[in-house]
Structure 1
Amino acid sequence: MSQKPVLDIREVPSKSKWLLFSIQHLFAMFGATILVPALVGLSPAVALISSGLGTLAYLVITKGQIPAYLGSSFAFIVPIIAVSEVAGPGGAMVGGFLAGVVYGVIAMLIKVLGHQWILNVLPPVVVGPVIIVIGLGLAGVAVGMAMYENPGAAPNELIYSVKHLSIALITLSITIISAIFFRGIFGIIPILIGIIGGYVSAYFAGLVDFSTVLEAGWIEAPSFIFPFVDYSPMVTLTIIGIMVPIAAVTIAEHIGDQMVISKIVGKNLIEKPGLHRSILGDGVASMIAALVGGPPNTTYGENIGVLAITRVFSVFVVGGAAVLAILFGFVGKIAALIGTIPSPVMGGVSILLFGIIASSGLRTMIDNKVDFNEKRNLIITSVILVIGVGGAFIQLGNLQIAGMALAAIIGIALNLILPGKGKTQTETFEEKENTVA
């Protein structure tokens, strides 16, 4: 990178700028991080705290050499909902913890064997379609929140609302306008701006109730979910089958994020401090989240955007954002205010956000030049999409592998066994990585 950073990775900002830069990072991740727990029935305040704790752990494990913020993972939304229905929130926490353990195992294997093998297992022809499945699999959730007064009700009890749909469309419009026309920091926080604009519209439409905010204290402990206190941890085949395979998807996303950050900061972070350290840090962050009642964490694209635009790479700034997130989580009125956001506002931003997730999967294949004239690529992509979006599942006794997880596993298997790889997409990954060195 020819452009000089404003603050390099290990530079400490001046006191006057430190808080400002950290708030900037916090705002970039705020909207998406609170959206995930709101969709799955967990506490947004706990999600903020767990994201902060996870980010600090990540910075320590990566020796303060990777300026990455970790927030709530969208890939786990459907699995958390599915596990919570059969095993409660505690079951979802167990699943998130086990997914983090998988990260740790993969990190150890990379430390011993190097990282090329995982690029062979998870090439773009597998990763791209699975990311598309993540976005499209959530489409019904977004539309339901946008259209109905009671999106969580049974199908025969749903109540269509023109008012709710109108608020959702207003929220969506504000978010799109922010993303297209705003510049600088405002151009990378369209989700937060959309939520604020939609919230104001919902208030004037009579959909906001401030009573909980008035009743809440300024300093309050959020609704943590602790093992052995709030639930008895139990590992079941259902939890393993639904939650653990998602780690394959998020690890692939993690690798892509590391390559992007490497290009931005002009250092090969996959080599130093090493992919094994960054994957371990990501896994530990998800394990920490599971221990306090938050959704699994992942590196955040919004904060990567902040790095690219501001050229502020300092891990001290990222760490400052993490500390602020933890402090915000203990402010009762902020947590209560988040809880008053009406479902159509969340639905409006989700329409765009989930669509962007699906589109980013398509972009992954385009950027890595996946050739659909090759029958094997066409077959792998087609099978992943139909199995994932169609909701196929395998039931073996108490073990159920469903939807996105099943699609990812079958996609990996097809990629490994089908003949005719030729010049693989993993070689394209490797070429991209070498351009950073």
Structure 2
Amino acid sequence: MNNKNIILDVKDRPKTSQWLTLSLQHLFAMFGSTILVPYLVGLSPAIALISSGLGTLAFILITKMQVPAYLGSSFAFIAPVIAAKAAGGPGAAMVGTFLAGLVYGIVALVISRAGHRWIMNLLPPIVVGPVIIVIGLALSGTAVSMAMNNPAGKYSMLHFSAALVTLAATIIFTIYAKKMLSIIPILAGIIVGYVYSLLIGIVDFSPVLKAHWFEMPDFLIPFVSYKVKFSWDLVALMVPVAVVTLSEHIGHQLVLSKVVGRDYIKEPGLHRSILGDGTATLISAIIGGPPKTTYGENIGVLAITRVYSVYVIAGAAIFAIIFGFIGKMTALIGTIPTPVMGGVSILLFGIIASSGLRMLVDSKIDFANNRNLVISSVILVIGIGGAVVKLPFNIEVQGMALAAIIGVLLNLILPGRPVASENMFETEGNNDQKTA
């Protein structure tokens, strides 16, 4: 990194005139994805915004104001949260989210005592890449159903057209947009789809007219909004997904280190950033939001703008909290037709799957090596096929969680395991590498 290219360094405070614009830019970058997750799982978008803001502020403090990362809603937990809600209501989903946050805390504690190389060995690209592919493809049916069907759940070409227009607009913005629009293609695509939906008459504005400007969201508070019930089913459903999100977190820290020109794995340390991520998820669970993760979209903004100031990120977090209390804003988000979100989801879920494929390519994974072929094949079929293992005490481990666990076990058991380097994206692939 050439320091002469930096416009604002990590601890530089921007001028007031710049601060507003730079922070809003990060808000827009994360906005579409952060509200999409609660929309898909049936949680409040307002609480998702508030929890993302609070979680990001907590992350900045825990990392000693050294890591300019924004934390938004995690796509990896969509299927587990939906399953938890179906089994035990929103309260069960929040308890499961809390348990996932605790896993982060435990891992952070172990890393602070034992160092970070063990987790690099546990989560190499040959395990993480296929699991990320599973995350995207396992949700593909949900995206297509949202895109094609009307509110009654029946096929409607009118509604499907809104999804197709949204998808086309998002693709165009992703490929051809310049400057500000290149940073927010998802949000821009949703806006185009929304305008088209207005023209064809599938938007209901009545909730916006009834909403107040200032409105308290319906927070889900443990022991107040719901009875806290612990079950091993929740552990089996939610905790294994932390394997995926931990690897995602490590990947983001490595990329962020390259962008900013610092080694965040060593200082402030991987244990601090993981603890910050886990704390954000715990905060989210306590008030009724979806699990949190660091956002690649905002890392992209950092790379493009060369503005690395944590004060800018903190400003975006404060804006997110404020937006969560604007009732008409929340109601307006709720009027977005399901096909519009379905159209965006088709691209987003595909991008998630493709990012897993990209990890395998970037890591130079050699599929002529039968070990790599076996691990990836088993993960993909078990995860996408929805395999279930039923254990005593009504415990079920299924889908993505089961695929992640089996992937880790296969990587540990099968001979020829490569030794992890500092960069998890350059740890394995070729047969001529040093093996454990």
Q: TM-score, normalised by structure 2?
A: 0.96
Runs of 4 or more consecutive aligned structure 1 residues displaced over 4 Å after TM superposition:
430-433
Per-residue Cα deviation, 1:383-411 (whole angstroms, up to 9, x for no partner): 00000000001111311111000000000
Per-residue Cα deviation, 1:179-210 (whole angstroms, up to 9, x for no partner): 00011221121100000000000011111111
Q: Would you say the 8 A contact 2:136–2:352 is kept in 1? A: yes
Deviates more, 1:253-262 or 1:182-191: 182-191
Name the CA distance, whole Å, in 1 between partners of 2:146 and 2:138. Answer: 14
Q: Would you say the 8 A contact 1:383–1:407 is kept in 2? A: yes
Measure how far apart 1:223 and its partner are.
Answer: 1.6
Q: Would you say the 8 A contact 1:10–1:316 is kept in 2? A: yes
SS at match of 1:75: coil
Name the CA distance, whole Å, in 2 between partners of 1:430 and 1:32. Answer: 26
Confirm or deny that 1:100 pairs with 2:101. Answer: yes
RMSD, aligned α-carbons = 1.1
Query: Could you say if the C-alpha distance between residues 101 and 431 of structure 1 is closer, same or farther in structure 2, counting changes exceeding 3 Å?
Result: closer
Partner of 1:143: 144
Measure how far apart 1:432 and its partner are.
Answer: 5.8
Partner of 1:121: 122
Q: Which aligned pairs between 1:183-332 and structure 2 lie closer than 5 A? A: 183-332=178-327
Confirm or deny that 1:363 pairs with 2:364. Answer: no
Which structure 1 residue ranges, 5 or more long, are not aligned?
Answer: none
2:44 maps to amino acid = S
Q: Would you say the 8 A contact 1:111–1:276 is kept in 2? A: yes
Q: Which aligned pairs between 1:404-415 and structure 2 lie closer than 5 A? A: 404-415=400-411
Q: TM-score, normalised by structure 1?
A: 0.96
SS at match of 2:28: helix
SS at match of 2:77: helix
Name the CA distance, whole Å, in 2 between partners of 1:26 and 1:427. Answer: 34
Per-residue Cα deviation, 1:222-255 (whole angstroms, up to 9, x for no partner): 1211101110111101111101111010000000
Confirm or deny that 1:400 pairs with 2:401. Answer: no
Deviates more, 1:306-315 or 1:180-189: 180-189
1:412 maps to amino acid = V
Count of matched residue pairs: 425
Q: Would you say the 8 A contact 1:368–1:428 is kept in 2? A: no
Name the CA distance, whole Å, in 2 between partners of 1:428 and 1:377. Answer: 20
Q: Would you say the 8 A contact 2:117–2:422 is kept in 1? A: no
Partner of 1:419: 415
Name the CA distance, whole Å, in 2 between partners of 1:363 and 1:22. Answer: 30
Name the CA distance, whole Å, in 1 between partners of 2:374 and 2:364. Answer: 16
Partner of 2:85: 84
Q: Would you say the 8 A contact 1:25–1:321 is kept in 2? A: yes
Name the CA distance, whole Å, in 1 between partners of 2:394 and 2:274. Answer: 30
Percent identical residues = 62
Name the CA distance, whole Å, in 2 between partners of 1:394 and 1:285. Answer: 30
Measure how far apart 1:347 and its partner are.
Answer: 0.4
Measure how far apart 1:431 and its partner are.
Answer: 8.2
Name the CA distance, whole Å, in 2 between partners of 1:382 and 1:75. Answer: 20
Q: Would you say the 8 A contact 2:211–2:327 is kept in 1? A: yes
Q: Would you say the 8 A contact 1:185–1:306 is kept in 2? A: no
1:331 maps to amino acid = I
